[in-house]
């Protein structure tokens, strides 16, 4: 432990839910306004190739807490499905490591890990669950949140931005930072938002901030799904999305972008709080998301049964005025954000890194050095509310290969087809590419201890028994 705990940085982590990488103004979106995230990136380090270990809330968040892949911690699906939500309290976590190193830890918002065991089970000293918002809203005499339009969202009338769930939670984080500032110990404060996850119930002026007629379609919107796994077209049928035009999708996307801008404004409140309290210089601020959101991409909704960049790629921005070399840079190295952040938090806090952690440190990038070379990045998925469905992904700068255990392989040339519209897995011209990615996938599954790599699967992948 550092003999001078005051010199170790404070850490503020904001982890949103289903924020697409491309829905940040500084990442090139032509419409969305995110001035505070842009300001954070201009004074920080913007990771352009950050990926989720699993594009599902509970598996991704548990991976962040424990610094390991879902195949190791065992939380494979979201809660409410009755399966695969083990008690992970015996696994090392960055929370317990930081607490043991003298940090004070606080949490606000949703949690979603380890069969419902609370933050206190993992080293956090104070927790303010997002579920308290409903009671506060009722006590304040505000109307109940509407839910007439299902997953496609609507305006949340009768509340100001500060009275929205995002605004209320940002106020709770502000109060927590103010209390933490009075302690001698360094702090780790984490805010897990439920937004911008659909359905977006957005107050004015954010509900009307974007004109649906002026929002261009996602590049992937025109996907015919030809030559792709059956379950993708089935998802369209299940959600009653077949034939839904962009004009029909655009109001939903406009509300999603409005919620992103509302979230951005609340992040601005937190940055101002750090400045007011004199904490900004030595506080590491991290912004990321558990995974992305289809929101009409590929004509689909939510995030399940696909490994498109719409859901696999996430924003990751880190600012640390006292410790970051050459702020305003972009890092293009591959990052598995949840696993790498867990290790990085321990190293920032002078805490021992558990042997079970499987990520790589981001500290070299903060210091202006190259990240440990990663030629590619991986992801895993086990299924969710519509049943088990095993997927593994390997993505390098040009190619993405998705192994679907019970469906067609997927192979995308990201240079020629960045929207992932054309599946090249059955193209004879790509046979060598496909074989190389299958072998690389087996190497990785072996390295991380993926129990899915049984003898039958190994033979399927290496001997090409499945076209």
User: Would you tell me which CATH number, out of the four given (3.40.50.1100, 3.30.200.20, 3.90.180.10, 3.30.1120.10), belongs to the domain 379-463?
Assistant: 3.30.1120.10
Architecture of domain 5-377: 3-Layer(aba) Sandwich (3.40)
Task: Read off the pLDDT of each residue in 240-260 and give the average, rounded to a whole number.
Answer: 97
State the Cα–Cα distance between residues 285 and 287, nearest whole angstrom: 7
Which pTM does this prediction carry? Answer: 0.96
State the Cα–Cα distance between residues 24 and 338, nearest whole angstrom: 20
Q: Which residues contact 369 (CB under 8 A, 6 or more apart)?
A: none
pLDDT at 114 > cutoff 60: yes
- To 10 degrees, what angle do helices 455-463 and 431-448 make? 160
**pLDDT-based confidence at 203, cuts 50/70/90?**
very high
State the Cα–Cα distance between residues 200 and 138, nearest whole angstrom: 20
Tell me if residue 238 falls in helix, strand or coil: helix
Tally Cβ neighbours within 10 Å of residue 372.
Answer: 13
Tally Cβ neighbours within 10 Å of residue 258.
Answer: 25
What pLDDT score was predicted for residue 82?
Answer: 54
**pLDDT-based confidence at 1, cuts 50/70/90?**
very low
Q: Which two tokens stand for residue 461?
A: 């992948």
- To 10 degrees, what angle do helices 165-181 and 132-139 make? 110
> In the chain, pLDDT over 90 holds for what percent of residues?
87
pLDDT at 109 > cutoff 80: yes
Kind plus residue range of the DSSP H or E element containing 221: none
Burial of 75 (0-12, 13-18, 19+ CB in 10 A): buried
Residue 131: name the closest of 188, 82, 192 by CA: 192
State the Cα–Cα distance between residues 242 and 378, nearest whole angstrom: 30
pLDDT at 6 > cutoff 80: no
Residues of the chain with CATH 3.30.1120.10: 379-463
* pLDDT tens by residue, 158-197: 899 999 999 999 999 999 999 999 999 999 999 999 999 9
* pLDDT tens by residue, 25-74: 999 999 999 999 999 999 999 999 999 999 999 999 999 999 999 999 99
Residues of the chain with CATH 3.40.720.10: 5-377
Could you write out the DSSP letters of every residue in 69-84?
Answer: -HHHH---S-TTSSSS
Tokens 């006292």 -> residue: 322
* pLDDT tens by residue, 324-369: 999 999 999 999 999 999 999 999 999 999 999 999 999 999 999 9
Burial of 102 (0-12, 13-18, 19+ CB in 10 A): middle
pLDDT at 219 > cutoff 80: yes
What pLDDT score was predicted for residue 465?
Answer: 47
């Amino acid at each position: 432990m550092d003999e001078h705990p005051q010199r170790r940085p404070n850490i503020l982590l904001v982890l949103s839910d289903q924020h697409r990488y491309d829905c940040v103004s500084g990442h090139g979106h032509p419409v969305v306004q995110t001035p505070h995230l842009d300001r954070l990136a201009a004074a920080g380090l913007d990771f352009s190739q950050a990926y989720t270990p699993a594009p599902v809330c509970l598996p991704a968040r548990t991976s962040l807490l424990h610094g390991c892949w879902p195949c190791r911690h065992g939380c494979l699906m979201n809660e409410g499905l009755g399966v695969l939500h083990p008690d992970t309290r015996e696994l090392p976590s960055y929370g317990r490591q930081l607490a043991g190193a003298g940090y004070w830890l606080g949490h606000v918002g949703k949690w979603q890990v380890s069969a419902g065991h609370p933050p206190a089970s993992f080293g956090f000293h104070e927790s303010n669950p997002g579920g308290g918002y409903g009671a506060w809203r009722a006590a304040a005499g505000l109307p109940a949140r509407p839910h007439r339009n299902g997953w496609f969202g609507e305006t949340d009338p009768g509340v100001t931005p500060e009275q929205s769930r995002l605004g209320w939670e940002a106020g709770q984080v502000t109060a927590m930072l103010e209390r933490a500032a009075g302690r001698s110990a360094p702090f780790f404060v984490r805010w897990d938002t439920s937004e911008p996850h659909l359905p977006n119930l957005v107050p004015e002026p954010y509900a009307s901030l974007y004109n649906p007629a002026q929002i261009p379609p996602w590049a992937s919107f025109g996907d015919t799904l030809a030559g792709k796994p059956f379950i993708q077209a089935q998802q369209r049928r299940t959600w009653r999305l077949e034939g839904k035009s962009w004009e029909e999708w655009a109001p939903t996307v406009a509300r999603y972008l409005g919620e992103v801008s509302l979230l951005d404004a609340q992040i601005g409140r937190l940055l101002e709080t750090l400045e007011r309290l004199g904490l900004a210089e030595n506080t590491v601020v991290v912004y990321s998301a558990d995974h992305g959101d289809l929101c009409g991409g590929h004509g689909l909704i939510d995030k399940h049964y696909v490994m498109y960049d719409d859901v696999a790629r996430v924003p990751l921005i880190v600012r640390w005025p006292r410790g970051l070399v050459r702020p305003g840079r972009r890092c293009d190295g591959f990052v598995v954000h949840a696993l790498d952040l867990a290790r990085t938090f321990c190293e920032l806090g002078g805490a021992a890194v558990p042997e079970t952690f499987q990520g790589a440190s981001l500290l070299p990038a903060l210091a202006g050095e190259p990240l440990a070379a990663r030629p590619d990045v991986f992801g895993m998925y086990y299924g969710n509310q519509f049943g088990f469905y095993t997927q593994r992904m390997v993505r390098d700068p040009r190619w993405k290969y998705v192994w679907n255990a019970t469906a067609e392989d997927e192979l995308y040339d990201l240079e020629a087809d960045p929207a992932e519209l054309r599946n090249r897995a059955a193209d004879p011209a790509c046979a060598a590419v496909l074989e190389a990615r299958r072998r690389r996938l087996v190497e990785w599954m072996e390295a991380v201890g993926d129990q899915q790599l049984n003898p039958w699967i190994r033979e399927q992948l290496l001997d090409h028994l499945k076209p």
